Amino acid sequence: MEKLIELKNLYKHYPILGGILRHQINAVKALDGIDLDIMKGECLGLVGESGCGKTTTGKAIVKLHEATKGEILFHNKNKAGKESVIDVVPLTNRKMKQKGIRGKLQMVFQDPTTSMNPRMLIKNIIAEPINEQVKLSSREMESRIKKLLDTVGLGGQHLLRYPHEFSGGQRQRLAIARAIATNPDFIVLDEPTSALDVSVQAQILNLLKELQDKLGMTYLFVTHHLLVVKYISSRIAVMYLGKIVEVAQTKDLFENPMHPYTLALLSAIPNTNIDKRSKRIVLEGDVPSPLNPPAGCRFHPRCPFAIDRCRTEIPKLEDVGNGQLTACHRKEDVAKLVKDTFGFSMKR
């Protein structure tokens, strides 16, 4: 598979200002040097607890938040089919438009109510990103918007309505229509189903799958819901406190997790098991503050298998076979450690 996006040593620190002169006294280290490849046509799930940096990663890629340092390489194909690799980090919005890549990177948010102007008609909401790209006559625009509404399972009769006239599921369909209006190559889906009823969640997930097959798009699916990500993603990356700790094919991650944090997450899924349902790895304590993350492995204060080395040395993401990457000093022993400590096998 070819790469579409490469994150290289990417940082996003939010400064904390203080003192009379309002100078920087600290920083929230939301992303602290992450490396991640996103392949063309795949749906990559990004999971982890709240505040681990999942949404920040998505926002940095689509340039809603400026990365502090590092590279976001986008493998772009122009209209003539010529491929080039562009680092979007130093680009301004204007430069992104000039290079024709602004509309190729899109995002769908968790709550469509807050991402749509309540005073705008649906036709104007969907027309906005199209107008940024091309000038169409009003007849052409209307026909394009109707087509987009059809694609997401709505109809032309919704053109002259306001966002509040729709249900949550319909509003999410509208948000998807707006995101695909510019024919993007890549969409960040930021918890797109968490605010919806379970039956509607399934409809939106199926719609996203259909669109991916039909339009050949690439997704980064951000969520804390492991069963949702298991259903929709072909690969999964696990984040903890601003770092990627494990990346694997979905099947490999669920059957053979190699990082203690992934193990704890999987063991917490209701009605599924590491071995048997009731067997869980319960993590002690809270996630440390991203203002002062622990030295060495960020997970060491909560890891049941931490050793001295973990407190000082940051583990690197390393291939453990099958393209599975894990950042843990004890990756080779994890299966035995789980068996010895908790009395069950992690392999399923």
Positions that interact with ligand SF4 (CB under 6 A) = 260, 297, 299-300, 303, 305-306, 310, 315, 328-330
Residues 6+ apart with CB under 8 A from 310: 296, 297, 300, 303, 329, 330
- CA 125 and chain centroid, separation: 24
**C-beta of 112 vs 315, nearer to ligand SF4:** 315
Structure tokens belonging to residue 252: 């490999």
**C-beta of 59 vs 329, nearer to ligand SF4:** 329
The SS3 assignment for 234 reads coil
Closest CB 217 distance from ligand SF4, rounded Å = 34
**C-beta of 49 vs 111, nearer to ligand SF4:** 49
**C-beta of 4 vs 245, nearer to ligand SF4:** 245
Closest CB 316 distance from ligand SF4, rounded Å = 10
CB contact burial 203-241 (16+ within 10 A = b; e otherwise): bbbebbeebbeeeebbbbbbbbbbebbbbbbbbbbbbbb
Closest CB 77 distance from ligand SF4, rounded Å = 39
Calpha distance 60→89 (Å, rounded): 8
> Reading across the β-sheet that carries 23-39, which strands appear in turn?
23-39, 3-18, 69-77, 83-87
Report the candidate in 158, 3, 21, 170 with the shortest Cα–Cα distance to residue 74.
3
Closest CB 38 distance from ligand SF4, rounded Å = 24
**C-beta of 184 vs 260, nearer to ligand SF4:** 260
Closest CB 239 distance from ligand SF4, rounded Å = 13
Residue whose entry in the numeric block shows the structure tokens 């949404």: 55
Closest CB 237 distance from ligand SF4, rounded Å = 16
Closest CB 249 distance from ligand SF4, rounded Å = 21
**C-beta of 63 vs 243, nearer to ligand SF4:** 243
Calpha distance 336→342 (Å, rounded): 10
Please, what sign has the CA dihedral across residues 294, 297, 303, 304? negative
Closest CB 292 distance from ligand SF4, rounded Å = 17
Calpha distance 250→235 (Å, rounded): 5
| CB distance 323 to 317 below 8 Å | no
**C-beta of 122 vs 338, nearer to ligand SF4:** 338
**C-beta of 151 vs 267, nearer to ligand SF4:** 267
Number of neighbouring beta carbons within 10 Å of residue 144? 16
